[in-house]
Amino acid sequence: MAQIDFGGTMEEVTTSEEFSLQKAREVLEPETVAVLGYGVQGPGQALNLRDNGIRVIVGQRENSPSWDRAVADGFVPGKTLFPLEEAARKGTIVQYLLSDAGQAAMWPKVRECLNPGDALCFSHGFSIVYKGQTGIVAPKEVDVILVAPKGSGRTVRTNFLDGSGINSSYAVNQDFTGRAIERTLALGIAIGSGYLFPTTFQKEVYSDLTGERGVLMGCLAGVMEAQYNLLRKHGHSPSEAFNETVEELTQSLIRLVAENGMDWMFSNCSTTAQRGALDWSPRFRDAVAPLFDELYDNVVSGKETRRVIEANSAPDYREKLQRELDLIHNSEMWRTGAAVRSLRPENRGK
């Protein structure tokens, strides 16, 4: 492990140079990794494991779109693709990658499939931390571990394919075998992590739920919509409003932030942009701080997870979700976005 200075705080991280893929293969050589769920995280992690030479099988509900997707990706029914419970019985490391609501619903059956010495692996601390709501309490005779990529399942795969990898956090909640940490790091490297940083199940889920609802998705979407609507209200065209709100951010400025940080991005913009950003950034920070306090309190109290479980367990969940997504898709802002994207040089003529 390497000691890295993160803004004055020393942290230990594990890189793919320190814990090599070859070492990961040696650790996982006697294991069968069963990836349960082929929806969001499942495909990226399963395909990366397979491409890295790890023995991996997929568990998925038969006659479902995700089952068909796994078949299309080369997993073979009866050989590397099985119904959920059968895959769980065959695996020595069970990657529990169903949705959070799905994990709670399937847990009584999956629990019965675990054998002493198996490892139960999560990519999110939700089910273990909020066990009072999910009912998921692991047997004492298994390792309970976490490898949580800091990105979508799609990015886990695309970053692997382009060689960049993705950062992941990791944690051990229960070490029955004495090999839990080694298994965890090996899995983290084998799914394509660039580097791994330690956390706990609790800290992972608190930060993850806050991030999703905050800067990463909820706050970002809300702030974009507010600025777009403001510009439209004052007579700016849809194209101008969208370019000034989304396109310049995603196609230019955020790339500068990714390369060298916000300070570097500020120093590479016009002096007018610098002055305005430096003046207004603290005002936006202070304006949203109370919302973030409320959000974090809701996460810690379990209010957010109750909302997730109740909404996602409803029989008409997918229909309601689609209606909400359609409202975004059909809004002027994102219809404009589709038109703007079609005009990018790489997309013209498609």
Active site residues: 124
CA atoms of 216 and 209, how far apart (whole Å): 10
Provide the pairing of β-strand 93-96 with 166-174.
Answer: unpaired
Find, among 213, 218, 96, the residue nearest to 148 by Cα.
96
H/E stretch holding 194: strand 193-198
Residue with tokens 């810690």: 300
Q: Is the dihedral angle over the CA atoms 88, 314, 138, 207 positive or is it negative?
A: positive
Q: What phi, psi does 175 have (nearest 5°)? A: -115, 90
Is residue 87 within 8 Å of 36, Cβ to Cβ?
yes
Letter for the amino acid at 282? P
H/E stretch holding 144: strand 143-149
Query: Hey, how many other C-beta atoms are within 10 angstroms of the C-beta on 75?
Result: 23
Q: In what order do the strands lie in the sheet with 93-96?
A: 2-6, 9-15, 193-198, 166-174, 143-149, 119-122, 93-96, 33-36, 56-59, 81-82
CA atoms of 146 and 308, how far apart (whole Å): 21
Is residue 44 within 8 Å of 153, Cβ to Cβ?
yes
Is residue 78 within 8 Å of 189, Cβ to Cβ?
no
3-state secondary structure of 157: helix
Letter for the amino acid at 162? D
Q: Compute, in degrees rounded to 10, the torsion defined by CA atoms 271, 229, 295, 198.
A: -50
**What is the token pair recorded at 126?**
């939700």
